[in-house]
Amino acid sequence: MNLNLIDKLKEHPDLISDATDQQYTIADVSWQAYEAFLADLGDDFPGFRVHYLEGTLEITMPGRKHEVSKDNISGLLRIYFEETRTRFYGLGSTTFRREAKRRGAEPDVSFCVETDKEFPDIAVEVVQTDGGINKLDIYQGLDVPEVWFWQRGGFVIYHLRSNGYEQSDHSEFLPNLDLALLATHVQSPEPLDAIIAFRSAIREALQ
């Protein structure tokens, strides 16, 4: 299963689109096969995102728009952490997995806040395609307290409660962060201009 897909991509790199995301879902994948797939990916396809939920494997090949959004979100959040003097630990797209729960995820962006931890406090998923496996189910099994989805030009945020995730209009880790302001700059066609303007807005708000 794993070798066939990887070999196919190596033989036909044109199957990977620069413009749009491509997503593959494979059912009935054992935990051992999932781990073997991650090992086989290695450094050949570092940009891929792999999610696993109770035997279902989802592989996302991010397109250009996806990667630009991911990079903008990460960069702007780092500026917010710096300007507000919030201690942070950037974990990027680290693979997080828990065999006992049969769950694994590779968020687009992830951070621990205030202290470093095994799993992130905030996981961000850039959504460019419909469908796919339920990523909140994955993150609940990993006990990630806050999950952000970037979709349709805005953020949708979920907080983990005792009975599952609850949608919210703000971040509990960054309660003073203006999400609308952040979203505006994530969408800017000029990343440098966005960084300068976002930093300036934060400093003004802190005065």
Residue 145: CB atoms within 10 Å? 19
Which pTM does this prediction carry?
A: 0.90
Does 38 fall in a domain?
no
Three-state secondary structure call for residue 43: coil
φ, ψ for residue 76, nearest 5 deg: -70, -40
Does 41 fall in a domain?
no
Mean pLDDT over each residue of the chain, to the nearest integer = 90
Strands of the 164-168 sheet, one edge to the other: 88-90, 109-113, 122-126, 146-151, 154-161, 164-168
Does 2 fall in a domain?
no
Does 155 fall in a domain?
yes
Count: domains in the chain:
1
Element (H, E) at 33: helix 31-41
CA distances from 177 to 33, 166, 189 (A): 40, 19, 22
Q: What is the pLDDT of residues 155-198, one digit of tens each?
A: 999 999 999 999 999 999 999 999 999 999 999 999 999 999 99
Per-residue pLDDT band for 83 (boundaries 50, 70, 90) equals: very high
Does 33 fall in a domain?
no
Q: Residue 96 is part of a domain; what is its CATH number?
A: 3.90.1570
- Residue 142 · residue 105 · CB < 8 Å: yes
Per-residue pLDDT band for 4 (boundaries 50, 70, 90) equals: low
Q: Which residues span the domain enclosing 155?
A: 63-206
Residues 187 and 199: their CA atoms lie apart, in Å, by 15
